[in-house]
Homo-oligomer: A and B are copies of this chain.
Amino acid sequence: MAEKVTPRDVDYSRWYTDIVLQGKLADYSPVKGAMVIRPNGYAIWEMIQKYLDKMFKDSGHVNAYFPLLIPESFMKKEAEHVEGFSPECAIVTIGGGQELEERLYIRPTSETIIWSMYKKWIMSYRDLPILINQWANVVRWEMRTRLFLRTSEFLWQEGHTAHATSEEAEEETLKMLNIYKTFVEEYLAIPAITGKKSESEKFAGALHTYAVETMMQDRKALQAGTSHNLGQNFAKAFDVQFQDKDGKLNYVWATSWGVSTRLIGALIMAHSDDRGLVLPPRMAQRPVVIVPIWRGDDQKVQVLEFADSVYQELKAKYNVIFDDREQYKPGYKFADWELQGIPIRVEIGPKDVANNKLVLVRRDTMEKQFIDRKGVLETVTDELNKMQSELLEKARIFRDENTFDIDDYDEFKKILAGKGGFLKSHWCGGAECETKVKDDTKATIRCIPFDRKKEDGKCIVCGKKSSGRVVFAKAY
């Protein structure tokens, strides 16, 4: 708290790190590339788990747990997959004091180990579908840590489903993408674009990949979640066939989908300000803090009694912090809770007691409101709901203001060299043009959006015919 958060326009990247470290959301660990998720950060992950897990279960999924360590030979069974993941794996070569006969990869993702089990479990159409999700840690080697956004170990969930038909697998892929979109918008309060990834950006081993894309305050894109239609690739690699109703053998159809602790990074970068974290109310385990203010013992008794009655009323519905610490001044406390992103602060001083009022400050607007003591629970609930929807709205306006239809490649490059944003431009569909954009501007195709209009145009790079715009942006 002695330090100060670096303002966004001084250094956006330091601003982010300051919020994470000073807000005690995470910390660097002594292991290169790995981080520690501190209680304030883990509390956000618990909220993400709570809501997503319910959405998964309500849509018929169940949880299971598969081994952390994957035999090297398994990783190698799907050609694209091993090529994509093998260079970034951590590999165990010693176990129980002995050199291992076969090296074991710490899972970078679990398709291979899971499909080796599905081979044991799937015989007939009666065994399908399998709708399993796993909450787990994975390791993908990284030397340059970006807290929450890029770390060599992260927490995530990975769904792995098995289906009798291609149509069912595609339906599942899209259903889970939509669950992610709903979650990102309604809980994280971040507007989301959904669409298909280009060939070069798809998951290693997938038929195609869909993604949820969001915009951060520096106008960069952040991929919030992905859902893959794996076709029959893994079923073929692991020889998983099932007998259909007519007794014929068929390869099983697969999907996988995941979101990770990276969502916490998205949450921070989408809403926070130069005072610190701004937490959407639904993601706050502790959405309200009460700070009583007094001088001298007479005031103290009065104020604490009044504040306690407010506390008791709010506590019935919310996990409320009652900050009556005597060693800190109110100003210090305000700054501390602002840094940690508590959505609503209630201040109660001697004047408020006399007037039967209290002061309410919402973390996003920072406006002081004098509200009646009576009905405080309803008022707080209203303000939390308003804050949740206004945060989404504010982020949506920001994104839309920074999204441009661009048809000229010079302008395209100029914007990306400057403030950046989402650039909707025509693209011929060719990998070469995609690569050229990346080389010229560092921007990538975030997705081919589902909601794009059919529109005749010319590829922003080569000028060939195109039938619709895709979203280009620099990304995390």
Binding site for B on A (CB under 8 A): 27, 29-31, 34-39, 41-43, 45-46, 62-71, 74, 87-97, 103-104, 106, 113, 116-117, 120-121, 132, 136-137, 139, 141-143, 152-153, 155
Collect the chain B residues with CB atoms within 8 Å of residue A30's CB: 71, 74, 113, 116
| Identity of the chain B residue whose Cβ is nearest the Cβ of A86 in the assembled complex | B97
Does B137 contact A68, Cβ atoms closer than 8 Å? yes
- Whether A96 pairs with B153 at a CB distance below 8 angstroms is no
Is B46 touching A63 in the complex (CB atoms < 8 A)? yes
- Could you tell me if A95 and B90 are in contact, using CB atoms closer than 8 angstroms? yes
- Once A65-B42, A113-B29, A137-B68 are accepted as A-B contacts, the answer to whether A91 and B90 lie under 8 Å apart by CB is no
Given contact pairs A38-B64, A46-B63, A62-B39, A95 touches B104 in the complex (Cβ within 8 A)? no
Given contacts A30-B74, A117-B27, contact A64 B36 (CB under 8 A): yes
Residues A93 and B96 in contact, CB atoms below 8 Å apart: no
- In the complex, the 6 A-B pairs of residues with the closest C-beta atoms, listed nearest first: A96-B141, A39-B62, A34-B67, A91-B94, A37-B65, A90-B95
CB distance from A225 to the nearest CB of B (A): 20
Per the bound structure, the CA–CA distance linking A132 and B95 in Å amounts to 29
Asked if B90 and A92 make an inter-chain contact with CB atoms under 8 angstroms apart, the answer reads yes
A43 to chain B, nearest CB (A): 7
Across the interface, A42 reaches (CB within 8 A) one of B46, B63, B70, B89, namely B63
Contact A96 B104 (CB under 8 A): no
Residues A93 and B95 in contact, CB atoms below 8 Å apart: no
Q: Report yes or no: B120 in contact with A27, Cβ–Cβ below 8 A.
A: yes
User: Given B35, B65, B70, B132, which contacts A155 in the complex, CB threshold below 8 Å?
Assistant: B65
Residues of B within 8 A of A94 (CB): 90-91, 93, 103
- Are A92 and B106 closer than 8 Å at their CB atoms? yes
Minimal Cβ-Cβ distance residue in B for A93: B93
Known: A95-B152, A97-B141. 12 other contacts (CB 8 A): A29-B66, A31-B69, A31-B70, A31-B104, A34-B69, A39-B63, A42-B63, A42-B64, A89-B95, A91-B92, A96-B141, A136-B137
Q: Which of A41, A43, A62 has the most CB of B within 10 A?
A: A62
- How far does the Cβ of A376 sit from chain B's closest Cβ, in whole Å? 25
